[in-house]
């Protein structure tokens, strides 16, 4: 999931702790592969280990950034074939 911020960064940052707690929940659930903010900070990337876009969107629905209208997500399916994630369990 690739996010684009829809609000100024200072507004996004006010919800950042809640968003990071949400990302922690994804990690505890075993569906998070990796996550981080883009540089420059215009959004972020969350790699999920799921089978469908519908499943990814369902998992992302409670994200505080979405609930507060601070960001939107584009789903991009990806199967790594080279590099550090080439042998990922998914």
User: What was the pLDDT predicted at 87?
Assistant: 86
Question: How large is the average pLDDT for residues 29-48?
Answer: 97
Check residue 36 and give its pLDDT: 97
Angle at 78 between CA 29 and CA 16, to 5 degrees: 50
This prediction's pTM: 0.92
Residues 48, 40, 86: CA angle, nearest 5 degrees = 35
Average pLDDT over residues 45-62: 97
Residue corresponding to tokens 């469908």:
52
Q: What is the mean pLDDT of residues 51-72?
A: 97
Task: Classify the phi-psi angles of 10: left when phi > 0, otherwise alpha if psi is within -120 to 50, otherwise beta.
Answer: alpha
């Amino acid at each position: 999931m690739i996010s684009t911020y829809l609000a100024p960064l200072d507004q996004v940052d006010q919800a950042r702790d809640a968003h990071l707690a949400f990302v922690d929940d994804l990690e505890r659930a075993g569906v998070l592969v990796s996550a981080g903010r883009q540089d420059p900070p215009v959004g972020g990337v969350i790699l999920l280990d799921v089978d469908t876009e519908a499943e990814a969107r369902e998992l992302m629905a409670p994200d505080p950034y979405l609930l507060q209208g601070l960001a939107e997500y584009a789903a991009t399916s990806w199967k790594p074939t080279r590099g550090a994630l080439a042998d990922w369990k998914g």
